[in-house]
């Protein structure tokens, strides 16, 4: 059974639970794990079945370049680099969900990674009115904050050399504990693509960079290593934590082949809902 077949089962369950309201399915996994490909495949399948579906990557909620430059100036230089919690416009994400829940046609933001900035609104995609399903995908979707004590010791060269005082990682963790949990609480079902370990993430991400290098946009090996270190802490934490929490765990091998899939028992505790969310 393929990842798309496995994920489709979870999507069907989420939609059955939602009834005539918007179902929201979160898809998470380390960089290069195939989460964007999976989300697109699910959307294509749902479109073919005439289920109006919206697809939003958390990457498309990145703050603008100007906003991140301001964060870098006022809080910590590492916040100029997009990706970690604290560099997304979570309020915008919540506004989009609220509009979709009202059945509106919604303009979905798109981020140009080449320009490192959000595209003009005229170039945003359009989610259909009456969408029955929202797919929210991203590397940190569903992540939970770490305990404060876990932040004390740096875990890689980036943290040791560029965040010696731990200000950056504490800011990121605080953002994850606050606004991001309000966004993630809106999700009905989580699907997690589990890499075999963190060591494979660099290779997977490197494969993506090879494609970009062919058109003159990729990073060299040293830049890529530093880039991945921005996300190492949360990625490792999710690899430890999400197998116990995801509604559907899809275990991958080093070639991204599905080697196991496990659905959480329906009798397992369900994370608390955002009290502001409409009842289903």
Contact 28, 193 (CB under 8 A): yes
- In this structure, how many other beta carbons lie within 10 angstroms of the beta carbon of residue 120? 9
**Measured at the alpha carbon of residue 202, what is the angle toward residues 223 and 114, in degrees to the nearest 5?**
50
Reported as a single tens digit per residue, the pLDDT across 117-163 is 999 999 999 999 999 999 999 999 999 999 999 999 999 999 999 99
Is pLDDT of 267 > 50? Answer: no
Predicted confidence band at 211 (pLDDT cuts at 50, 70, 90)?
Answer: confident
| 276: in domain | no
CA distances from 214 to 132, 195, 207, 217 (A): 39, 26, 11, 8
Half-sphere exposure for 167 (CA within 13 Å, toward CB):
11
Residue 73 lies in a domain: yes
Q: What is the pLDDT of residue 209?
A: 77
138 backbone φψ class: left, alpha, beta (φ>0; ψ -120 to 50): left
Closest CA to 10 of 45, 50, 61: 45
29, part of any domain: yes
Name the residue range of residue 100's domain.
Answer: 3-263
Residue 93 neighbours by CB under 8 Å, 6+ apart: 56, 58, 61, 136, 183
Q: Does any domain span residue 126?
A: yes
- Check pLDDT > 50 for residue 268: no
How do residues 12-70 score in pLDDT, each as one tens digit?
Answer: 999 999 999 999 999 999 999 999 999 999 999 999 999 999 999 999 999 999 999 99
Q: Is residue 273 part of a domain?
A: no
Q: Which residues are CB-contacts of 65 (< 8 A; sequence separation ≥ 6)? A: 115, 116, 117
Residue 53 falls inside a structural domain: yes
Q: What 3-state class would DSSP assign to 86?
A: coil
CATH number at residue 18: 3.40.50.300
pLDDT of residue 258: 95
Domain count within the chain: 1
Estimate to the nearest angstrom the gap between the alpha carbon of 113 and the chain centroid.
15
Q: How many other C-beta atoms are found inside a 10 Å radius of the C-beta of residue 122? A: 6
Q: Which residues contact 154 (CB under 8 A, 6 or more apart)?
A: 160, 163, 164, 166
* Reported confidence tier of residue 208, pLDDT bands at 50, 70, 90: confident
Q: Which residues fall within 8 angstroms of residue 255, CB to CB, at 6 or more apart?
A: none
φ and ψ of 14, to 5 deg: -65, -40
Judge whether 236 lies within some domain: yes
- Does 269 have pLDDT greater than 80? no
Tens-digit pLDDT profile for residues 176-204: 999 999 999 999 999 999 999 999 999 99
Question: Which DSSP helix (H) or strand (E) runs through 189?
Answer: strand 189-194
Give me the residues paired with residue 27 across strands.
Answer: 137, 191
String of DSSP letters for 123-157:
G-EEEPTT--EEEEEETTTT--PPPGGGGSS--SH
Three-state DSSP state, 180: helix
Helix (H) or strand (E) holding 252: strand 248-252
Whether 271 is covered by a domain: the verdict is no
């Amino acid at each position: 059974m393929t990842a798309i077949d496995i994920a489709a089962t979870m999507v069907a369950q989420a939609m059955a639970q939602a009834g005539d309201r918007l179902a929201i399915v979160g898809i998470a996994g380390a960089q290069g794990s195939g989460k964007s490909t999976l989300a697109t495949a699910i959307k294509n399948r749902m479109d073919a079945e005439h289920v109006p579906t919206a697809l939003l990557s958390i990457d498309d909620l990145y703050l603008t370049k100007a906003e991140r430059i301001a964060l870098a100036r006022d809080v910590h230089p590492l916040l100029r680099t997009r990706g970690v919690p604290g560099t997304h416009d979570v309020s915008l994400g919540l506004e989009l969900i609220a509009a979709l829940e009202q059945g509106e046609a919604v303009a979905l933001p798109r981020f140009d990674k080449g320009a490192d900035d959000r595209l003009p609104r005229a170039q945003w995609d359009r989610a259909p009115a009456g969408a029955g399903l929202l797919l929210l995908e991203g590397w940190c979707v569903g992540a939970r904050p770490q305990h404060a004590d876990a932040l004390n010791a740096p875990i890689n060269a980036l943290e040791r050399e560029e965040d010696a005082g731990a200000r950056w990682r504490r800011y990121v963790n605080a953002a994850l504990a606050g606004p991001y949990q309000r966004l993630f609480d809106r999700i009905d079902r989580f699907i997690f693509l589990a890499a075999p370990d963190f060591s494979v993430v660099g290779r997977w991400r490197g494969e993506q960079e090879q494609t970009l290098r062919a058109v003159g946009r990729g990073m060299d090996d040293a830049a890529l290593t530093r880039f991945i270190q921005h996300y190492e802490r949360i990625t490792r934490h999710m690899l430890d934590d999400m197998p116990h929490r995801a509604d559907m765990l899809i275990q991958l091998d080093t070639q991204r082949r599905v080697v196991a899939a496990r659905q959480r028992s329906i009798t397992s505790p369900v994370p608390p809902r955002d009290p502001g969310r409409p009842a289903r």
